[in-house]
Amino acid sequence: MAGQHGLELAVTLIIAHFVDLVAKVCSCLLHRWTLFLQEIIRAAELSSSQVKNCLLVLIQHNCVRAFSSPRPGGDQHYVALSDNILHRMRFSKIRK
């Protein structure tokens, strides 16, 4: 887990690599560690479909992981992978 400056850098990297909506969802997860879908929707102040699409992008890029509750029919909660996000600094820049 990254410290406060690491979290700020992670948010900056997400903003640089993705659109603002994705960055907003990821920022909520980075600052609150783990949240259920409804909590993310409230915190990010976005629609359910927007949050789901943002989570899909973040999961595909290995920036967020989803976990199921151990109880039967339990909700999924999401956690941002700050170390994986910080590794995005190593990605090469594409010049046009």
pLDDT digits over 18-29, tens only? 888 999 999 999
Closest CA to 22 of 35, 32, 9, 13: 13
Residue 11's pLDDT is 87
In a domain, 15, yes or no: yes
Q: What CATH number is given to the structural domain containing 34?
A: 1.10.10.10
The domain tally of the chain equals: 1
Model pTM above 0.85:
no
- 28 near 35, Cβ under 8 Å? yes
In a domain, 96, yes or no: no
Q: How far apart (Å, rounded) are the C-alpha atoms in residues 75 and 90?
A: 34
Q: Which domain holds residue 13?
A: 4-90
Residue 68's pLDDT is 87
Residue environment code for 60-70, b if the CB has 16+ CB neighbours within 10 A, otherwise e: ebebbeeeeee
| Residue 94 clears pLDDT 60, i.e. is over it | no
In a domain, 75, yes or no: yes
In a domain, 65, yes or no: yes
- CB burial class (10 A; 0-12, 13-18, 19+) of residue 1? exposed
For 56, other C-beta atoms within 10 Å of its C-beta total 12
Strand residue runs (E) in 5-96: 34-36, 64-68, 76-80
In a domain, 95, yes or no: no
Residues 46-92 have pLDDT tens digits of 999 999 999 999 999 999 999 987 777 668 899 999 888 888 887 76
